[in-house]
Structure 1
Amino acid sequence: MTSKTRFPAAYNRLADPYAASEQDRLDALAQILASVPHVMTILHTLRDLALPDAWLVSGGIYQTVWNILTERPLFHGIKDFDIIYFDGTDLSYDAEDAVITRVDTALPDFAGLLEVRNQARVHLWYEQRFGRPYRPLDCAMDSLTTYAARTHAVAARLDDGGRLVVHAPFGLANLFAMRLVPNYLQPNQETYAEKGARMTALWPELELVAWEGGT
């Protein structure tokens, strides 16, 4: 199994917040994603569908990077590709379901692997499902601040000119370091522990930072 010490030197540098700039990390992530055909297929399709404030987020990005860092198959451990958008003009389930159908139809090769959600309506169902309230969001990227792990808060899309745009509110050093770090902005300790257990089983190289005050 590939160890961290065998990562390319450029990635080791990116993992150190003091050895490279955040722009270096953003550029490197964009280059990595641009080299992965199925990721680019998803991003091109999202742009062509012209969904409002639409992004590919989370696992389909950071797990792809980890697979490249550890020289694993590109789909290793990827349970789904999370696609988010923000449409506050219609908060109905039917409207969201219609968008889900549009995306599934446009990406038939990814049947069963797409998780599409309108971030404008998450607060309507979140408490019933998870047992705690969830504030209404302001935009799609606002949702990244609620993820259980800061490391997972990463998004990508293509702009109108075809340029790959990457957003990571907590930075990317932890992603390149393969370090899972809690996000205390939401009381998600249980979710963090569950995700940490699954991630470390799939990528034993991961460093799992304990939730402060947790066991």
Structure 2
Amino acid sequence: MIRSEQDLIRLVQQDDWMMDVLHAAKTLHLPDWWVCAGFVRSKIWDVLHGFAERTPLPDVDVVYFDPGNLNEAAEKELERKLYAIRPNVPWSVKNEARMHVINQMPPFISSTDAIANFTETATALGLTLDEQDRVRLTAPHGIEDAVNLVVRPTPYYMRSPDRARIYENRVSNKRWNETWPRVVIEHIRMV
């Protein structure tokens, strides 16, 4: 059972595949790096649904924060390096110092700030390894929604009808209930 952030960290530490992914990402020596989003959320939901096999991920998101190099080509080169280490992982690398422009949002001040502004609270989760290879978790909105199988928007997506539509379209397109039937989607009611 996952009741606390420490329970989640222990679960990750016991998952050889997740630890291999984290170690591969660490080899890049990126500033403020995290493996995040579905990588963490799907693990929680798989465990809570009692799945014996991992749900395949469309991508494994590695984020970092480097305002000194905003070139998308740098991200693609980092992906190539990760594919050379772990070719069977669907890597996606993004520098959060530039993603606010792509997503038409205010600038972020760190990777954790970017993660806090992901679309759903249950997805706003990231893992990294410290210098001693200890697993660290960032959960700007806590882990409660993820462990309670609730999908709700982060505060940013509740501030306007346009942002609410982005959230609603995303949760509709993801079709998470087809994979994890106990997940409850909260919809935004704009007045």
TM-score (norm 2): 0.88
Q: Report if the CA contact (8 A) 2:37-2:126 is conserved.
A: yes
> Aligned pairs, how many?
185
Name the structure 1 match of 2:136: 165
Deviation at 1:190, TM superposition (A): 2.9
2:91 maps to what in 1? 114
Deviations 1:55-75 (A, max 9, x none): 100101111111111122443
Q: Which amino acid aligns with 1:191?
A: I
Q: RMSD between aligned alpha carbons?
A: 1.8
Pick aligned residue for 1:63 from 24, 42, 55: 42
Q: What is the aligned partner in structure 2 of residue 153 from structure 1?
A: 124
Q: Deviations over 1:76-126 (max 9, x none)?
A: 25221111011111111222222222222222121xx11111111113333
Q: Decide which of 156, 168, 174 is 1:193's aligned counterpart.
A: 168
Confirm or deny: 8 A CA contact 1:68 1:74 kept in the other structure.
no
In the alignment, which residue of structure 2 is the partner of 1:96?
A: 75
Per the alignment, in what secondary structure is the counterpart of residue 157 of structure 1?
strand
Q: Which moved more, 1:179-188 or 1:36-45?
A: 179-188
**1:80 matched to 2:59:** yes
Counterpart of 1:60, as a letter, is: F
Q: Which has the higher helix share?
A: 1
Point out where structure 1 has 5 or more consecutive residues left out of the alignment. 1-9, 15-24, 127-132
User: Identity rate of aligned residues, in percent?
Assistant: 22
Letter in 2 for 1:137: F
Q: List runs of 5+ in structure 2 lacking aligned partners.
A: none
Letter in structure 1 aligned against 2:144: A
Q: Tell me the residue number matched to 2:183.
A: 206
3-state SS in 2 of match to 1:116: strand
Partner of 1:134: 105
| Match of residue 28 from structure 2 | 49
TM-score, normalised by the number of residues in structure 1: 0.79
4+ long deviations beyond 6 Å: none
Q: Which moved more, 1:184-193 or 1:47-56?
A: 184-193
Q: Aligned partners of 1:212, 1:184: CA distance in 2, in Å?
A: 14
8 A contact 1:47–1:160 mirrored in 2:
no
Amino acid paired to 2:169: E
